[in-house]
Chain A
């Protein structure tokens, strides 16, 4: 047998990995979708690049002005912008998902230094990092033009800040990857991401309400920001230009110390990854206490099959943290709306636009938009279990009916929650408004379920529980859903204004109920058709929804 050969050198390994990435990219262009994606990226990239270049010029001019006229806070502001974009943009783009990392290459004899370099390469070739590096470089000519002496301090300060950002970015990803490796932590992190996004909705109303009271905190926050890396880099330049070399050196040393801490944290992760830590999906097996098996649910008015399917779908919903947050949003939005009303600078106008009479219809409309989104891709989460539904002796009508019942239950619960919130926060909603809104909601729900049932069978898309990244229904589903909402809203508005013109809005309610009756007939017809459609389309449905991850 031939002798064992030695591992290739570090440079050869890096060249091989670069070649691998290049081949993956080229092979990705074999399909029409791959080519289209590249065209979209080039087109979007060109637009974004223009913006990046433009902002770079502005930053250059800004830094010239700041140094020339002694405004160190402006340099600090620019550096904060660079720091935050570098930190947050990759996170927002990746949607709190794990990125491809060099850990997958560890089955080969990869040197530790190659592994570290690859981890850094991921950070440097990130679009946000490239843009931020360009912005830092673009600020240098501005500083040089204003004061050549300041440039001598700006170069090490910017280099330190760039190194710190790179280390911070890599450290965040390394730790995120660790948490993303397990389902529970992945879901919790995803939920935190959505909560942060929802929290963003509260900024304006909170600023309106508490903005004045928060003003005394601004100087304290500015002083605190001064002690953080972008502040340190700006201070180093400022001290250096003023001739306080010692203080400037101290700021740079502080920056380097931060780099050291981050480097240590990153090294902890990278070493653990390189040694081959075990972060499997499966939890550690543990013996659980015996629990007697409970019989499934029974539901009055529906067959045992539908009851079992409903139970399964409800359990799935209750175990989907993302769904909780999505369904929580309408209630939060209503709270935000009512807070905005109190803080509006034009209370008369706000009172005319928004009030207890309008909150409820608005809230219900928002809930409908949220819940019917689920109905247009109702089998999204059935995934690997779907073949079981086709192999079992059941009519697919029952599968769809159970999902429709669940969506109706969720909608009802949400409407009740929003109603209670409005009564508590904004005051009494007139009974006439409640009646009209509920009649309209009934019709809208039936219209959406009718269309949604067909779209779910003709244009399904698999979604993964507990993930934010690329979790959208198909384009057709989005388009049809939009069309249905436009039709329902248009027809509903026409009915409402006609009834107002006729002097009695009760006619509008009767119109809604009549439309609901007609839509009910269409809904029944579609429900009776879905078994045949699903049977004919089972291959396409299984191919899309049950494909392995």
Chain B
């Protein structure tokens, strides 16, 4: 039996009348680079918040590396790293102060936290802004810092909510290299992104959530075969085409705007 890094059973979340996430059963094997896709408002961020303990599910169970999140939150959190939607930075600290703080929150001793901070600042190209407060960083720098804080303790599972949004090509290359290195060392990465080209290039497996329900979950190749079979297409489909086929089929004909003719 394969080890599961992330497993959910009947995961649901309601906000009043709205059922944002409905009966989601995710299976992410250890060592996978997993992309979690869906249109705006589909329930991606809600799901990732429930997986990382930032939001309580209305029903269902979350297990990370075999540990139940509800009964052992501290045990689960020690194993994971998170870059949440809003980045969760204490912006009145400097970059190094924040990284040391994050390291110590995950149980690193003072010296190790400082050593890794130095290494991470250098790797992320933030060493020359070590004295600046985070509030004065650009968006891309904040994103790199949040990523650095998420990996400082060497997590086994990394959850990333839109990690490449607002990041320039150079920084994006650095982040991708780091993520690939983590995968090579056996970590599991679970990311959401709207940039399907990046997901296609990085991820081996994907799941697609649409209107709160999981509508697809498999490797990209399996998904491609399934959709191609339905379409009887000969050419290799891109992830974007697969995605549109699954969630956007009902809007095949794009309406036209009269004044843009």
Where the two chains meet, the residues of A that have a C-beta atom closer than 8 Å to any C-beta of B are: 1-2, 183, 281-283, 285, 287-288, 290-298, 304-305, 307-309, 311-312, 315-316, 319-320, 381-395, 465, 535-536, 538-539, 542, 546, 548
Q: What is the bound-complex CA distance between A95 and B104, given in angstroms?
A: 39
Q: How far is the CB of B255 from chain A (nearest CB, A)?
A: 17
Known: A282-B138, A312-B90, A316-B90. A393 touches B107 (CB 8 A): yes
Q: What is the bound-complex CA distance between A131 and B105, given in angstroms?
A: 56
Q: What is the bound-complex CA distance between A388 and B142, given in angstroms?
A: 14
Interface pair B56/A386, CB less than 8 Å apart: no
For A288, what are the chain B residues with a Cβ–Cβ distance below 8 Å? 128-132
For A538, what are the chain B residues with a Cβ–Cβ distance below 8 Å? 53-56
Q: What is the bound-complex CA distance between A384 and B88, given in angstroms?
A: 5
Q: How many A-B residue pairs have CB under 8 A?
A: 142
Interface pair A315/B93, CB less than 8 Å apart: yes
Known: A304-B104, A384-B91, A385-B90. A296 touches B54 (CB 8 A): no
From A287, A320, A392, A548, contact of B106 by CB (8 A): A392
For A319, what are the chain B residues with a Cβ–Cβ distance below 8 Å? 92, 133
Interface pair B136/A2, CB less than 8 Å apart: no
Q: What is the bound-complex CA distance between A393 and B52, given in angstroms?
A: 11
Q: What is the bound-complex CA distance between A281 and B132, given in angstroms?
A: 13
Closest to B52 in A: A391
Instruction: Tell me, yes or no, whether B29 is within 8 Å of chain A by CB.
Output: no
Interface pair A282/B86, CB less than 8 Å apart: no
Known: A387-B86, A388-B149. A183 touches B130 (CB 8 A): no
Q: What is the bound-complex CA distance between A520 and B260, given in angstroms?
A: 72
Interface pair A291/B130, CB less than 8 Å apart: yes
Q: What is the bound-complex CA distance between A315 and B91, given in angstroms?
A: 11
> From residue 71 to 118 of chain B, which have CB atoms closer than 8 A to chain A?
73-78, 80, 82, 84, 86-93, 96-97, 100-102, 104-107, 109-111, 113-115, 117-118
Q: What is the bound-complex CA distance between A308 and B107, given in angstroms?
A: 10
Interface pair A285/B88, CB less than 8 Å apart: no
Q: What is the bound-complex CA distance between A386 and B96, given in angstroms?
A: 18
Q: What is the bound-complex CA distance between A444 and B75, given in angstroms?
A: 37
Q: How far is the CB of B10 from chain A (nearest CB, A)?
A: 20
Q: What is the bound-complex CA distance between A244 and B136, given in angstroms?
A: 60
Interface pair A393/B74, CB less than 8 Å apart: yes
For B73, what are the chain A residues with a Cβ–Cβ distance below 8 Å? 393, 535
Q: How far is the CB of B12 from chain A (nearest CB, A)?
A: 15
Interface pair B114/A293, CB less than 8 Å apart: yes
Interface pair A385/B104, CB less than 8 Å apart: no
Q: What is the bound-complex CA distance between A391 and B121, given in angstroms?
A: 22
From A2, A282, A393, contact of B137 by CB (8 A): A282
Interface pair B91/A385, CB less than 8 Å apart: yes
Interface pair B53/A295, CB less than 8 Å apart: no
From A1, A282, A390, A546, contact of B53 by CB (8 A): A390
From B56, B102, B129, contact of A285 by CB (8 A): B129
Interface pair A315/B97, CB less than 8 Å apart: yes
For A1, what are the chain B residues with a Cβ–Cβ distance below 8 Å? 260-261
Closest to A182 in B: B136
19 pairs of residues in contact across A and B, judged by CB atoms under 8 Å: A290-B128, A292-B118, A294-B96, A304-B104, A305-B107, A308-B105, A309-B105, A312-B90, A315-B97, A316-B92, A320-B92, A382-B90, A388-B88, A391-B52, A391-B82, A392-B77, A393-B74, A393-B78, A536-B56
For A296, what are the chain B residues with a Cβ–Cβ distance below 8 Å? 100-101, 104, 110, 113-114
Q: How far is the CB of B92 from chain A (nearest CB, A)?
A: 5
For A295, what are the chain B residues with a Cβ–Cβ distance below 8 Å? 100, 110-111, 113-114
Q: What is the bound-complex CA distance between A535 and B72, given in angstroms?
A: 12
Q: What is the bound-complex CA distance between A315 and B134, given in angstroms?
A: 13
Q: What is the bound-complex CA distance between A419 and B109, given in angstroms?
A: 39
